[in-house]
Amino acid sequence: MSIEIKTAEDIEKMRLAGRLCGEVLDYITPHVKPGVTTETLDKLCHDYMVNVQDCIPAPLNYAPPGYTPYPKSVCTSINHQVCHGIPNDRPLKKGDILNIDVTTIKDGYHGDSSRMFIVGGEEASTILARRLCKVTHECLWLGISQVRPGARLGDIGAVIQKHAESQGFSIVREFCGHGIGRRFHEDPQVLHYGKPGTGIEIEPGMIFTIEPMINAGKAAISELNDGWTIVTKDRSLSAQWEHTILVTPDGYEVLTLSAGAPANPALLA
């Protein structure tokens, strides 16, 4: 495993890519409403990234080994879809929960973030859906709160696992956070479960994502025939939140924070 410690120049460019990524999610937020299609949301995000921000949408035509090229500019995962949902012409319904996952490339550097949306507002959803989105957001920030030099990656996974499972939810184990920089996916892998004090030691200059995927039912997942979309095997709801994190000399900096990002959960305030 080769973990790249970012230089001061890298960090400045990652700050820009991260800020722009967060701003795409801010931009798309008012467009998420009943009746809109995820294809429309994808086109709005694409045009904003390309024409306004002068960015490249990283998912478009992304093709890791064994995969066909991803056909859209963002990932949109609805209800029981865990991740990598492909935007399509299905209108969103009141009460749907939706994850929009955005990755921007600016001047060769990546910013990566995702956010949950409750279509039609919180009052439109079930208590379970609201609680799942809330607890997953708490898991993200609990994980972020562990980031500091000298801590271990296992500390991040352990606190996420403990909180999710204490609420009766389960953690998807097949997908994890990852290093990020000039490449979309770098070392290290950042698991969302584990034991405190285990794993790689965290050092200043590391940049990685934390992106817990939490299921309301069992942890088991499967892949749809499109070769990308991951769903819960039991068709229970799934939620995910993601930020890109820089390890600083005395803690962390969230590179994908933006003006419209939801506030830190009350349990961390």
Amino acid at 178: H
pLDDT surpasses 90 at 129: yes
pLDDT surpasses 70 at 268: no
pLDDT surpasses 60 at 143: yes
**pLDDT tier, 265 (very low <50, low <70, confident <90, very high otherwise):** confident
Q: Is residue 164 part of a domain?
A: yes
Q: Is residue 266 part of a domain?
A: no
Q: Please write down the long-range contacts of 41-44, taking CB distance under 8 Å and 24 or more positions apart.
A: 41/74, 41/76, 41/87, 41/100, 42/72, 42/73, 42/74, 42/76, 42/87
**pLDDT tier, 267 (very low <50, low <70, confident <90, very high otherwise):** low
Domain that holds residue 172: 8-260
As a whole number of angstroms, the distance between CA 48 and CA 70 comes to 19
Q: Is residue 220 part of a domain?
A: yes
Determine the straight-line distance between the first and last CA of the chain, rounded to whole angstroms.
35
As a whole number of angstroms, the distance between CA 114 and CA 96 comes to 16
Would you state the pLDDT for residue 144? Answer: 97
Q: Is residue 75 part of a domain?
A: yes
Q: Is residue 269 part of a domain?
A: no
Q: Is residue 65 part of a domain?
A: yes
CATH code for the domain of 88: 3.90.230.10
Cβ atoms of residues 6 and 206 within 8 Å: yes
Worst-scoring range by mean pLDDT, 2-6, 25-29, 136-140, 263-267? 263-267
Q: What percent of the chain has pLDDT over 70?
A: 99
CB burial of residue 218 (10 Å; 0-12, 13-18, 19+): exposed
Q: What percent of the chain has pLDDT over 90?
A: 96
Total structural domains within the chain: 1
Would you state the pLDDT for residue 269? Answer: 53
| Sign of the torsion angle spanned by Cα atoms 29, 89, 111, 165 | positive
**Interior CA angle at 10 toward 7 and 15, to 5°?**
125
pLDDT surpasses 60 at 50: yes
Q: Is residue 265 part of a domain?
A: no
Per-chain mean pLDDT for the chain: 97
**pLDDT tier, 264 (very low <50, low <70, confident <90, very high otherwise):** confident
Q: Is residue 1 part of a domain?
A: no
Over residues 103-128, the pLDDT tens digits come to 999 999 999 999 999 999 989 999 99
Over residues 186-201, the pLDDT tens digits come to 999 999 999 999 999 9
Closest CA to 140 of 174, 182, 190: 190
